Amino acid sequence: MPRYGFNFQWMFSRGRPESVPKEPDLKALDFMARHGFEFARIPTDYRFWTKDFDYLHPDETVFEVLDRYLNACTERGIHMSLNLHRAPGYCINRPEIEKHDLWADPEAQDGFVFLWETFAKRYRGRPSTELSFDLLNEPPAPGGRHSKVFSRDVHEAVMRRTVAAIRAVDPDRAIALDGISGGGIAIPELADLGVVHSGRGYVPFQLSHFKAGWTRQRDATREPGWPLVLKDKTWDKDALREYYAPWREVQAQGVTVHIGEFGCFNKTSNEVALAWFRDLLALYREYGWGYALWNFKGSFGIVEHGRPGTSYEACDGYQVDRELFDLLCEHRSERPAR
């Protein structure tokens, strides 16, 4: 059955040298369990446990925090997806700060594989109902600005090597691979691996990231609508269906598809955001895809996100966007609330 939930940025970005991982948000996990959400994706930054790009000698005391994340999720019947958002040699955000290139340098590739082998050994014996490995957040596009050498062939080789290394340690571990080009493009060349393929729900970007300061939409002035008419394309539910057609083709080969991230930044009007969410979620339910909203609390979340025109309702100690929350609940497979 598909899994539904949220992303949590507890170990998301080290940022400053003094940054430390956050402890698990038990209140948020209790909220999830109470309302029938059972998937928590945890994007991490390897710099929390690595010093001076020495990938092969991590500070494993930091992994004790990951243990606490997993235990807190397991106690509440929530599946934890452990994800590398920043990995040795690559991150979709500021890749230029890396010493190596994951797609070119053996040091980064060896470090990447070593890290996942380390996690496989650490969590061997924890069932895949409790824990899965999401190997790399949003690999780049061939010919894109994030890597000069990235190609589908290179990506395939790195992922096949890493999956094989994990399975040599823990053959039954559930594994997820993100699509390339920021997670949006399907990877049929890896359909035979027996892993989950993780997609994204951020199209059209002009709507989902309107005025997002870290993107090229930061200076956008035209308020998006839904449907969204652009110079070269009209985005509506049929266009979303067309966009996901390659993912449906992979699904037809027996691959499980899950939407590891989707959401809408808080500068898009609430009326437009809800209309877009409604069409997007309807397709996910039609296709039988689970999802994880980016994120729980914050500018993309369901709690206190600040989107213009939103009506909030007090719920379990949070100010919740009730209309969005109801959409998320309505467009998943039926599950009893706790």
- The number of residues in the chain equals 338
Which tokens is 184 given? Answer: 């949006």
Position with higher pLDDT, 213 vs 110: 110
Report DSSP state, residue 36: T
C-alpha pair distances (Å), 230 with each of 106, 205, 222, 225, 226? 43, 11, 11, 10, 11
Residue pair 20/59 in contact (Cβ under 8 Å)? The answer is no
C-alpha pair distances (Å), 158 with each of 97, 164, 262? 21, 10, 25
pLDDT single digits (tens) 246-293 = 999 999 999 999 999 999 999 999 999 999 999 999 999 999 999 999
pLDDT single digits (tens) 78-101 = 999 999 999 999 999 999 999 999
**Which class is 4-330 in CATH?**
alpha beta
Report DSSP state, residue 47: G
Confidence of residue 213 (pLDDT cuts 50, 70, 90): confident
On the CB side of 263, CA atoms within 13 Å amount to 24
* Strand residues in 174-311 grouped as ranges (E): 174-178, 196-201, 228-229, 234-235, 257-262, 290-293
Per DSSP, the residues of 305-316 read: ---TTPPEEEET
Mean pLDDT for 220-235 is 93
Of the candidates 118, 132, 133, the one whose C-alpha atom is nearest the C-alpha of residue 63 is 118
List the chain domain ranges.
4-330
